[in-house]
Amino acid sequence: SYRMGDETFFSKGGTVNTELPMTVVTQFLTTDGTDTGDLKEIRRIYVQNGKVIQNSKISADKIPAAAGKDSITDEVCQAGKAAFVNHDDFTKKGGLAGMGASLKRGMVLVLSLWDDTLTRMKWLDSATPSKDGKRTAADPGVKRGPCAMTAGSPSQLRGQYPTAHV
């Protein structure tokens, strides 16, 4: 949501308040509505305090070609790659249909906590300007979350949360 233009949707005190318990529901929708059809859309909804919250909508100033959309489709992915000036590896690898085929083969959900000494996890929740300086935090898609570019020191995180676990 943040990268797509709604910077308060999933946040402290936001539409989905990250300081409160929540349930995240991810729906995998197929072309024919069955479990065996080709994957065509991934939709996310949230449940908090007994209330169902639909995912935020993409802002026209972030991804004009996907403005108003609120789920993941091939078209949204392609529009995002173009708007954010990112290489489109997703389409080359088969898009959602390719991902669906992989899911049908079976996957295991693995959760872990980790940090990143090289990039400080900026790709997740900070800004990731280009090394050549052509794309800055002011450009669509560069700012991915509210964290400062100086945040995310692994030694600080490990010291601050020594008992973190999944």
Mean per-residue pLDDT, 74-80: 96
Q: How far is CA 108 from the centre of its chain?
A: 20
Q: How far is 58 from 76, CA to CA, in rounded Å?
A: 9
Contacts of 102 (CB under 8 A, 6+ apart): none
CA-CA-CA-CA torsion sign (43, 48, 50, 52): negative
Q: Which residue has the higher pLDDT, 112 or 14?
A: 14
| pLDDT level of residue 77 (50, 70, 90 thresholds) | very high
Average pLDDT, integer, range 84-89: 92
Mean predicted confidence (pLDDT) in 72-92: 95
Mean pLDDT confidence for 134-155: 87
Provide the whole-model pTM.
0.85
Residue 122 has pLDDT above 90, yes or no: no
The whole-number pLDDT of residue 67 equals 95
